[in-house]
Structure 1
Amino acid sequence: MAQAKILIVDDEVVVAEDIRRQLRALGYLVVGVVASADEAVRLAGEHRPDLVLMDIKLKGPMDGIDAARIIQTQYGAPVIYLTAFSDEETLERARETLPLAYLIKPFVRSDLRAALELALFRQRVSRIAEQRGRWLDAVVQSMEDAVVTVDQQGRVTMLNPAAEGLTGWSQPDALGKAVQEVMVVLDPESRRSVLHPAVQMLRKGTSADLGGRPFLLVSRNGHEHRISDSAAMIRDERGDPSGVVLVFRPASA
């Protein structure tokens, strides 16, 4: 595994050099030690560090919080703040940048190591989740089947291109609207309105048995499509219902 790249930003030379020695002893690659916010931003752009150790109090027009905000926005590098003391207003500004951790000076090597390992682990997990999210989004967007997701209140949260084609709704127009408005479904024989599968599932709090029967979907422009669909409950990390995903396609005659 490649060494994690760390950028140190601290205007106390002795402290910064001590942190550099500790990081090297722990097996990390120090890509730079700088004392100003401007230099921190510049080196972050050059080296794209995996993590930045940032002193909150820096001399100059920008402090460590300003630098952290720019680095996170432009380069996506997470930050651990270093601080000896700070007022509540400064700490509130720091919290808004969502740092991975705080280290209170002076700290011992075991504290530094624990903070780094935890921060880098959280960052790896976050990147994996982002990559999987992008992969899943690409798969859904390229599917021939139509896919619609709704939240716990039955409001549309996503349509893929196939769903846009069948419903006649664009995703921007459909977002936040009730699924019954975007997907008007009728009984194909009686042509009467039926309880929408997504609404049925949300009311029961469990997957609904659709019985494999088709529905008649009336699109926004009045076109009718005989469709078959399947639905599944979306659950949060605690296992509680948080929405529904519907997958449907034109039914065979």
Structure 2
Amino acid sequence: MAQEKILIVEDEVITAKILENLLVSLGYNVVARVKTGENAIKTAEKHRPDFVLMDIVLEGTMDGIDAAAEIKKRFGIPVIYLTAFSDDATISRAKETDPYGYLVKPFVKETIHSTIQIAAAKKLFDDRIRTASVWLNRTIQILDRGIITIDNGGRIILINAYAEQLIGWNIRDAYMKQLDDVLQFYDSITDQPFILHITPTLNKGVVSVFPSDVYILSRNGGRQLLKDCVLSPVIDTKGIIIGALIAFSSVDDSRAKGEITNTYLKIAQKEPISEVINQNVPAVPANLKSLSSKRISKILEEISDLMHLEQANTLSVMGKFEEAIQEYQKALKIRASNIQAWHNMGVILEKLGRNEEALDAFNKALEINMRSPETLRHKGEVLKKLGKVTESQQAFQQLELYTG
């Protein structure tokens, strides 16, 4: 596989030449050397390099930070900064452009190599997430399943077409409203409000499966009995929980399906948006695979673990529970101490009635954190289903102890 293509933007000729020689000796393909920010933008458009090594202080009216921001905005090409200045103000301003690295002069060959390789790992991950996000957003709108997403403050961000028909709210009216102001859940047996606990999902990434006897009141006052309801975290590319996603179906959804058929067809007939350039998941560069750096190995391990976890959570909200379990198991093969994967898999197994397996998963999660309230609650419920009354009571007593 060809090495990464790199554009050098450096106004000191000798420094630029030294850097080019170092990069070539490491096997990289230097597509050009330019001196100004304006030429950097033109050259980036022409050659579309994998990375731009950008000096912050440049000749001309545009400095390296402004040029980097424009290149990122127009072409999405990652930038690694080069500079002799490492003061806090410079670094702070450079960070606003979300660089993939920061190299301080004078350059060291090994440091340059490791920085580019770490940037390559990050770019690989970002490309996968970006492609997946685009297609996920497209898919969400045509699902025959209600999808509502909220931010970490509980405010509504997205409602898909199916959910709009069921709850009677459109996204224009509901956007940034608190979830409780738009969606009310009730227990169909007691007719009392069903409290949706979103805090464990937003704080700890816990996936929750609703009971089967929950209904919602639509905006016009009608009732919709729900099935296969799941609350799952939304995780960004840095592994930070930024919100949650609620997925549900109606027990009697023929009306909703009929009303939104045309919406589905319109969305399905649209061409993929231009942001998706290549549907294939990028392969790992050959030199990245062979690099023995422990730091890069750790980064790739964390990336893989996170991707399996994110995929599992996505599959669970789509109701593809068996596939979700397989992804949780893949995540656990990478990191057996992943408490979120153990807990979430236990929730899905409980949903499927595989209570013994669910109990084992919850016990594994509690071995990692014995004070997890959500896991203790689920363990108590599973033990109760298995007829282990005494053990169930003990689990609930522990829950009261840790939450009281």
TM-score band w.r.t. shorter chain:
0.7 to 0.9
SS at 1:221 equivalent: coil
Q: Which has the higher strand share?
A: 1
Question: Distance between the aligned counterparts of 1:241 and 1:16, measured in 2?
Answer: 41
Question: Distance between the aligned counterparts of 2:89 and 2:199, measured in 1?
Answer: 49
Residue pair 1:53, 1:80 contacting (<8 A) in 2 also: yes
Question: Distance between the aligned counterparts of 1:156 and 1:20, measured in 2?
Answer: 49
- Most deviating of 45-54 and 235-244: 235-244
Question: Distance between the aligned counterparts of 1:200 and 1:194, measured in 2?
Answer: 17
Q: Which has the higher helix share?
A: 2
Residue pair 2:232, 2:246 contacting (<8 A) in 1 also: no
SS at 1:169 equivalent: coil
Question: Distance between the aligned counterparts of 2:23 and 2:88, measured in 1?
Answer: 30
Question: Distance between the aligned counterparts of 1:7 and 1:170, measured in 2?
Answer: 46
Summarize the Cα distance change of 1:34–1:248 in structure 2 as closer, same or farther, 3 Å threshold. Answer: same
Q: 1:4 is matched with which residue?
A: 4
Displacement after TM superposition at 1:41 (Å):
0.8
The within-5 A match list for 1:1-253 is 1-85=1-85, 88-151=88-151, 153-188=153-188, 192-198=191-197, 210-215=210-215, 217-234=216-233, 244-252=244-252
Question: Distance between the aligned counterparts of 1:199 and 1:121, measured in 2?
Answer: 33
Question: Distance between the aligned counterparts of 1:106 and 1:198, measured in 2?
Answer: 54
Displacement after TM superposition at 1:89 (Å):
3.6
Query: Structure 1: where are the runs of 5+ without partners?
Result: none
Question: Distance between the aligned counterparts of 1:209 and 1:63, measured in 2?
Answer: 52
Displacement after TM superposition at 1:8 (Å):
0.3
Summarize the Cα distance change of 1:19–1:225 in structure 2 as closer, same or farther, 3 Å threshold. Answer: same
SS at 1:30 equivalent: strand
Question: Distance between the aligned counterparts of 2:77 and 2:110, measured in 1?
Answer: 23
Q: 2:328 is matched with which residue?
A: none
Deviation string for 1:146-170 (max 9, x for gaps)? 1223455543333221111111111
Deviation string for 1:38-91 (max 9, x for gaps)? 110100111111110111111111111111111111111111111123655433
Question: Distance between the aligned counterparts of 1:239 and 1:34, measured in 2?
Answer: 36
Residue pair 1:54, 1:81 contacting (<8 A) in 2 also: yes
Summarize the Cα distance change of 1:247–1:103 in structure 2 as closer, same or farther, 3 Å threshold. Answer: closer
Give the residue type in structure 1 aligned to 2:85: F
Summarize the Cα distance change of 1:200–1:209 in structure 2 as closer, same or farther, 3 Å threshold. Answer: farther
Give the residue type in structure 2 aligned to 1:131: T
Residue pair 1:188, 1:214 contacting (<8 A) in 2 also: yes
Considering only aligned residues, what root-mean-square deviation do their CA atoms show, in Å?
3.1
Residue pair 2:234, 2:245 contacting (<8 A) in 1 also: no
Residue pair 2:16, 2:33 contacting (<8 A) in 1 also: yes
How many residues align? The count is: 250
Q: TM-score, normalised by structure 2?
A: 0.55
- Most deviating of 48-57 and 135-144: 135-144
Question: Distance between the aligned counterparts of 2:119 and 2:201, measured in 1?
Answer: 38
Question: Distance between the aligned counterparts of 2:142 and 2:135, measured in 1?
Answer: 11
Give the residue type in structure 1 aligned to 2:69: R
- Most deviating of 237-246 and 58-67: 237-246
Summarize the Cα distance change of 1:116–1:225 in structure 2 as closer, same or farther, 3 Å threshold. Answer: same
- Most deviating of 84-93 and 110-119: 84-93
Deviation string for 1:124-144 (max 9, x for gaps)? 111112112223222222210
Question: Distance between the aligned counterparts of 1:118 and 1:241, measured in 2?
Answer: 23
Question: Distance between the aligned counterparts of 2:42 and 2:241, measured in 1?
Answer: 46
Question: Distance between the aligned counterparts of 1:108 and 1:200, measured in 2?
Answer: 47
Give the residue type in structure 2 aligned to 1:55: D
SS at 1:180 equivalent: helix
Summarize the Cα distance change of 1:34–1:175 in structure 2 as closer, same or farther, 3 Å threshold. Answer: same
Residue pair 1:198, 1:244 contacting (<8 A) in 2 also: no
Query: Structure 2: where are the runs of 5+ without partners?
Result: 254-404
Q: TM-score, normalised by structure 1?
A: 0.84
Residue pair 1:152, 1:202 contacting (<8 A) in 2 also: no
Residue pair 2:150, 2:244 contacting (<8 A) in 1 also: yes
Summarize the Cα distance change of 1:168–1:80 in structure 2 as closer, same or farther, 3 Å threshold. Answer: same
Residue pair 2:145, 2:162 contacting (<8 A) in 1 also: yes
Summarize the Cα distance change of 1:193–1:239 in structure 2 as closer, same or farther, 3 Å threshold. Answer: farther
